Amino acid sequence: MEQFKNYINGEWVAPKTGKYFQNINPANTEDIIGKFPESGREDVNDAVAAAKEAYKMWKRMPAPKRGDIIRIAGDLFAAKKEEIARIMTREMGKPVFETKGDIQEAIDTAYYSATETRRLFGHTAPSEMENKMNMSFRLPVGVCGVITAFNFPLAVPSWKILPALAAGNTVVYKPSKDAPQAGVVFAQIMEEAGLPKGVFNVVLGKGSMGNMMVEHPDMNLIAFTGSTEVGFKIGEVCGRTNKKCSLEMGGKNAQIVMPDANFDLAIEGVLWGAFGTTGQRCTATSRLIVHKDCYEEIISILAKKASALRIGPGLDDSTQMGPVVHAQSLANCEKYVKIGLEEGARLVIGGQKATGGILDKGYFFQPTIFADVTKDMRLFKEEIFGPILSISKAESLEHAIELANSVDFGLSSSLYTRNVNQAFQAIRDIEAGITYINAPTIGAEAHMPFGGVKGTGNGHREGGWTVFDIFTEWKTVYIDFSDKLQRAQIDNY
């Protein structure tokens, strides 16, 4: 069995704890991918110390030179796309066509971040004084801790790591314990791209190791993607220790379908949004809100389509939906089916572990649809992170928007309609960081801001130009060449 190592200060090193955990293929629990470090405080300390030392050099490297390295990393991700996709599918389950898309996001983000190193613009402004100039520019923050979830093992970390590096920060990265090999691959790519030692470090481990990173006194910033519960705890520590903190947390995203919509398109959208990545996306379509005039028709067509989805190992090219990531996730899906039945929701299809043949070896769950879900039900309000869709009936567009907003999250949203007035009304009134018109709740593009409101985030946006607001600080400069003391607000009026 292959035994993996941490990547610290440009070296592949064994954990000082001497402990390891097994990484298991969720599609076949007999397939052990390898042993991965269960790192401890000493390993975290070494990684942070390396990043802190490397920061002195890296922040002074001209930004476009940093961009050259990041661009090479994008080239390497592209050249190894097929190979990396199969590694990712084996360890976290989603089909290869999806993991290829995951890598494409990393490629796009690499090229975008590389280009932005020539566009880290500041601002100049006229002074209120004579013979004086005012300007501002961006500076890096320092050592950044990055902690991410399993579902997008390269895309999501790339949204944080590559802009952080482009801005002149150094990084200590903790991948999910459920997708640790993707973190190893990330380090291998950055090493091959020519990143100097210590600039990027990967420390593998379980949840407690993330706490050590968050609490470390030399960590200047934490960028986190994961559950709202964990994100709130991270936010508390960062508030107490005055660290910058970017939180991308849960979602309970709704797709609205109006009677004038293209029904075929709307059903395609919810199938992809609800069951793509086996529902294990923060942007997954976990709620479908349908106007009363087309409610039963949409349910009937959708049930047939969802029942026909091909479930199986992601490495099989015919698979449309893979397993959930582990036994706890499977048990969680079973728990919410029980909750839904107890609450009085109508089970339309699914509701059980998918079995038979090769499916018996993995954590497979049937595509599941509940109808007649009301806003007081837990199915309506709580993030499940599995292939379970809740359908609710709306009396009007206004009622649909009210239902969409009746949760504690606000990440993504969607409306299917041919009515441009209704589209703009939804764009204005839905409480979410992202709204799609005639498209599912998933499908973010790397050059656009990504993030949400309410329980989904703490105000930051990854992706696009806005991500650099996370990973930079503003420096304001006043240059007075009057050769005399000029007192602002006093001597000018």
Mind listing the pLDDT tens digit for each residue in 139-197? Answer: 999 999 999 999 999 999 999 999 999 999 999 999 999 999 999 999 999 999 999 99
Q: Specify the domain boundaries for CATH 3.40.309.10 within the chain.
A: 253-437
Percent of the chain with pLDDT over 90: 98
Catalytic site positions = 248, 282
The whole-angstrom separation of Cα 84 and Cα 253 is 29
**Residue 108: half-sphere exposure toward Cβ, Cα within 13 Å:** 16
Phi, psi of 248 (to 5 degrees): -120, 110
Q: What angle is formed at CA 72 by the lines to CA 69 and CA 76, rounded to 5 degrees?
A: 140
Contact 100, 321 (CB under 8 A): no
Burial of 124: CB neighbours in 10 Å, binned 0-12, 13-18, 19+: exposed
Q: Which residues contact 13 (CB under 8 A, 6 or more apart)?
A: 5, 6, 7, 46
Q: In the numeric block, which tokens belong to residue 71?
A: 């661009």
For residues 244-260, give the mean pLDDT: 97
Kindly list the distances between the CA atom of residue 348 and the CA atoms of 2, 299, 432, in Å, as whole numbers in the listed order. 44, 8, 28
Does residue 207 register a pLDDT over 90?
no
Element (H, E) at 240: helix 228-241
Burial of 178: CB neighbours in 10 Å, binned 0-12, 13-18, 19+: buried
Q: What pLDDT shows up at residue 67? A: 98
Contact 379, 336 (CB under 8 A): yes
Does residue 47 register a pLDDT over 90?
yes
Four-residue CA torsion sign, 65, 66, 71, 77 = positive
Q: In the numeric block, which tokens belong to residue 395?
A: 């009396």
For residues 254-279, give the mean pLDDT: 98
The whole-angstrom separation of Cα 210 and Cα 107 is 26
What is the tens place of the pLDDT at every residue in 345-389?
A: 999 999 999 999 999 999 999 999 999 999 999 999 999 999 999
DSSP code string of 185-238: HHHHHHHHHTPPTTSEEE----HHHHHHHHH-TT--EEEEES-HHHHHHHHHHH
Does residue 491 register a pLDDT over 90?
no
Element (H, E) at 342: helix 327-343
Q: In the numeric block, which tokens belong to residue 236?
A: 């508390």
Task: Band the pLDDT of 208: cuts 50, 70, 90.
Answer: confident
Round the average pLDDT of the chain to a whole number and report it.
97
Q: What pLDDT shows up at residue 415? A: 98
Q: What pLDDT shows up at residue 181? A: 98
**Structural class in CATH, domain 6-249+457-476:** alpha beta
What is the tens place of the pLDDT at every residue in 3-16?
A: 999 999 999 999 99
Q: Specify the domain boundaries for CATH 3.40.605.10 within the chain.
A: 6-249+457-476
Task: Band the pLDDT of 492: cuts 50, 70, 90.
Answer: confident
Which of 135, 136, 218 minimizes the C-alpha distance to 172?
A: 218
For residues 449-464, give the mean pLDDT: 96
Contact 102, 151 (CB under 8 A): no
Which of 124, 70, 80 minimizes the C-alpha distance to 478?
A: 124
Contact 120, 53 (CB under 8 A): no
CATH architecture of 253-437: 3-Layer(aba) Sandwich (3.40)
Phi, psi of 268 (to 5 degrees): -55, -40
Q: Which residues pair with 321 in a beta bridge?
A: 311
* 30: DSSP letter: T
Beta pairing class for 409-410 and 285-291: unpaired
* 25: DSSP letter: -
Q: In the numeric block, which tokens belong to residue 50?
A: 């390396």
Contact 103, 154 (CB under 8 A): yes
Rg, the chain, Cα only: 24
* 16: DSSP letter: T
